[in-house]
Amino acid sequence: MDPIKLSKEIHNDIINWRRELHKIPGTGLDIEETYNFVCNELTKMNIEFITLSKTGICALINGENPGPTIAIRADMDGLPIKEETGLKFASNNNCMHACGHDAHTSMLLGTAKILSKYKSILKGNVKLIFQPAEEISAGAEPMIAEGVLDNPKVDRVLGLHIGGFFPEVKAGMIGVRTGYTTSAVDKLSVTINGKGGHGALPHLCVDPISIGAEMISALQRIVSREINPLHPVVITIGSIEGGSTWNIIPESVHFQGTIRTIFPEDRELVEKRVIEICNGIASTNGASADVVYDKICPSVNNNSEVTKSFMKSALKIVGEENLVYLKEPTMVSEDMAYYLQNVPGTFFFLGSNNPKKGIIYPHHHPKFDVDEDVLWIGPAIFVQAVLDYNSNL
């Protein structure tokens, strides 16, 4: 069984699936057309599946020999972006596959198509997880809660992201690292309740704008003064709303932002200190603050043993010159993290930016695209990883 040959043989199918999926994106859990498309293709392949979390799909390929269960996960959702690629197969749906999840879904279908024909040599099972709502971090957690990692119990999980998150991972290259690979993401929302009045009479008011300014500056001191300087932490306040005109002190101010951390202990510390600082500054100034700290998604943490064996499999597919060990994590986040909290596994990156073809736009850009020439690589690596896991039993 030659995964490179088998995957190249179905490269056209993978491209066609990707194009069909690209035309019909949805967002969040509302990806019915995508869901129907995948169900239909799995049915054609005679692969059994169940539906979880409204539009999530858990398919199972039962090997004919006893063994463990390896899960491979692809996310399927798009983004609320109006597409500007000008592609013949551009989205019809007022939202867009601007992160490459159409490619993830088509590569997992390719993996399914190959493996479904080799049940007689497979040891154990391959579980195919087609997940909605990654972009809003609302797909992995509910699928896990509904049992996607049970029955049969998953022993190992793999997943990939296509695109250009790491400039050194060029088209057709694989980037991977052990340990923390993406950041955790949290959302902060603060309302400062002061006392409004005449801008000339501040002593009769409690000014939420000056209090808000103090809070926003103080939050940055968590990063510069309280965190180990060798640990990455980002606090970005992305929006402030308050006041109506130049000579009135408003009643309240609202601001919100995102907090990114790599290490769980930093995440706990930042959450605690953000709440203390916002409440403390509000109360010392005679105001009150409603502080809402939403923990959205943890860091992707790649298991060292699984990642090392994965790298040996990837090496067989792309060769040493195309396998990049990532020196640093990225501060973007991925809800693949939830599977990796439950099961040892690896999340890796497949480069698909290609300046020669004008494929240069970043993720979540209305002109984002992927180089389809690399799409055979995903299934080839997944199939190789399954075979290698089987042969090491």
Binding segment for Zn ion among 28-36, 93-101, 105-113, 266-274 (CB under 5 A)? 93-101
Is 104 known to sit in a ligand binding site? no
**260's tokens:** 């990114």
Residue 114: its H or E element: helix 101-115
Binding segment for Zn ion among 17-25, 95-103, 202-210, 233-241 (CB under 5 A)? 95-103
> Do you know the residue count of the chain?
393
User: How many residues bind to Zn ion according to rule CB under 5 A?
Assistant: 1
In the complex, the smallest distance separating the C-beta of residue 100 from Zn ion, rounded to whole angstroms, is 6
Only one residue has tokens 């603060």, namely 190
Binding segment for Zn ion among 50-58, 97-105, 167-175, 305-313 (CB under 5 A)? 97-105
Q: Which of 61, 95, 99, 108 binds Zn ion (CB under 5 A)?
A: 99
| Measured distance between the N- and C-terminal CA atoms of the chain, rounded to whole angstroms | 18
Planar angle of CA 221, 224, 226, nearest 5 degrees: 80
Burial (CB count within 10 angstroms: exposed 0-12, middle 13-18, buried 19+), residue 334: buried
Is 22 known to sit in a ligand binding site? no
Instruction: Please identify, using beta-carbon distances, which residue of 114 and 169 lies nearer to Zn ion.
Output: 169
Decide the pairing of beta strands 48-52 and 56-62.
antiparallel
Instruction: Please identify, using beta-carbon distances, which residue of 99 and 222 lies nearer to Zn ion.
Output: 99
In the complex, the smallest distance separating the C-beta of residue 27 from Zn ion, rounded to whole angstroms, is 11
- Give the integer Cα–Cα distance in Å for 90 and 354: 19
Whether residue 152 is preceded by a cis peptide bond, meaning omega within 30 degrees of 0, is: yes
Is 161 known to sit in a ligand binding site? yes
Binding segment for Zn ion among 7-15, 45-53, 63-71, 91-99 (CB under 5 A)? 91-99
Decide the pairing of beta strands 174-176 and 323-325.
parallel
Instruction: Please identify, using beta-carbon distances, which residue of 10 and 336 lies nearer to Zn ion.
Output: 336
In the complex, the smallest distance separating the C-beta of residue 332 from Zn ion, rounded to whole angstroms, is 8
In the complex, the smallest distance separating the C-beta of residue 338 from Zn ion, rounded to whole angstroms, is 15
Strand runs labelled E in 233-312:
233-242, 248-249, 252-261, 288-297, 301-302
Going by the annotation, the residues of the binding site for Mn(2+) are: 99, 101, 135, 161, 364
Site of interaction with Zn ion (CB under 5 A): 99
Going by the annotation, the residues of the binding site are: 99, 101, 135, 161, 364
